[in-house]
């Protein structure tokens, strides 16, 4: 009897939680429609990414039927955000932010820098396709940043690394020897690069500037920790 009562009590207590979890999962698996995108504010978009990373870093990513999402987004897309990230295999934005088909645009290039083509892609993602937030996502122990710190010269990498000059210019004598083995120095350059890249967007693009001024778009810089999976948002 005691066993029966305990079992019934546990089951009765568990059911509401199970129902809530299923409800949350079905909401999270709903694809973004034009209406849903329109009703998402820039702050909502950032909040969705923050919540997604909290799920990811807690091993609580939501499993959705991706092929169902493929079918539901086959004729149109209405992503809520766009992420500029590094090519690093350990920082896939959709996984890190627990996003799925049709949720976010992504532009990936070594070191998460921007050039004319990427700024054009961001203009398309926001002004044309309606995304509400741009996130520049750097990460620790970044090979591109380390190469820039070491002033590597190799093929087209030489030209790529010139993009980190503004971030390297933030270094002072107090940061110690400029060497990729100096972890705090590499981290400082990576954070400076993410911040400066995010700040550069309104200067490089009158379209992006207008959207930000109209409060239709928010730009954020963030750092992913490849050892914990956690994203830290830079002020």
Residues that bind Zn ion (CB under 5 A): 86, 88, 142, 144
| Least Å from the CB of residue 140 to Zn ion | 9
Q: Nearest to residue 189, comparing CAs of 157, 155, 142?
A: 142
Closest alpha carbon to 163 in 82, 86, 83 = 86
Of the pair 107, 144, the CB lying nearest Zn ion is at 144
Structure tokens at 202: 């309104």
Instruction: Name the minimum Å distance from CB 86 to Zn ion.
Output: 3
Helix (H) or strand (E) holding 4: helix 2-29
Shortest CB 83 distance to Zn ion, Å: 14
Q: Least distance (Å) from Zn ion to the CB of residue 226? A: 9
Q: Are 154 and 114 in contact (CB under 8 A)?
A: no
Least CB distance to Zn ion at residue 33 (A) = 33
Give 217 or 223: the residue with its C-beta nearer to Zn ion: 223
CB-CB neighbours of 39 under 10 Å: 9
- Of the pair 194, 217, the CB lying nearest Zn ion is at 194
Which of 148, 172, 146 lies closest to 160, judged by CA?
Answer: 148
Minimum CB distance to Zn ion smaller for 44 or for 94? 94
Q: How far is the CB of 227 from Zn ion (least distance, A)?
A: 14
Handedness of CA 191, 231, 120, 115 (dihedral sign): positive
Which CB, 88 or 103, lies closer to Zn ion?
Answer: 88
Task: Please count the residues of the chain.
Answer: 235
Phi, psi of 80 (to 5 degrees): -90, -15
Q: Which residues, 6+ apart, have CB-to-CB distance to 109 below 8 Å? A: 84, 86, 87, 115, 118
User: What tokens does 61 get?
Assistant: 């990513």
How far apart CA 212 and CA 11 sit, in angstroms, is 50
Q: Which is nearer to Zn ion, 160 or 208 (CB)?
A: 160
């Amino acid at each position: 009897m005691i066993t029966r009562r305990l079992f019934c009590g546990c089951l009765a207590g568990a059911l509401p939680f199970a129902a809530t979890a299923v409800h949350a999962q079905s909401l999270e698996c709903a694809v973004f429609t034009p209406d849903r995108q329109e009703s998402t504010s820039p702050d909502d978009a950032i909040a969705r990414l923050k919540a997604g990373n909290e799920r990811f870093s807690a091993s609580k990513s939501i499993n959705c039927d991706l092929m169902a999402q493929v079918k539901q987004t086959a004729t149109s897309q209405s992503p809520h955000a766009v992420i500029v990230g590094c090519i690093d295999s350990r920082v896939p934005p959709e996984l890190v932010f627990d996003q799925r088909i049709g949720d976010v645009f992504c532009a990936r290039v070594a070191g998460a820098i921007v050039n004319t083509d990427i700024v054009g892609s961001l203009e398309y993602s926001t002004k044309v396709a309606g995304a509400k937030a741009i996130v520049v996502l750097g990460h620790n122990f970044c090979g591109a940043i380390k190469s820039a710190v070491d002033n590597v010269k190799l093929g087209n990498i030489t030209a790529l690394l010139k993009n980190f000059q503004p971030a390297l210019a933030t270094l002072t004598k107090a940061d110690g020897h400029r060497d990729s083995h100096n972890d705090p120095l590499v981290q400082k350059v990576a954070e400076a690069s993410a911040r400066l890249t995010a700040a550069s967007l309104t200067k490089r693009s009158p379209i992006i500037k207008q959207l930000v001024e109209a409060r239709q778009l928010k730009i954020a810089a963030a750092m992913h920790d490849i050892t914990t999976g956690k994203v830290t948002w830079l002020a």
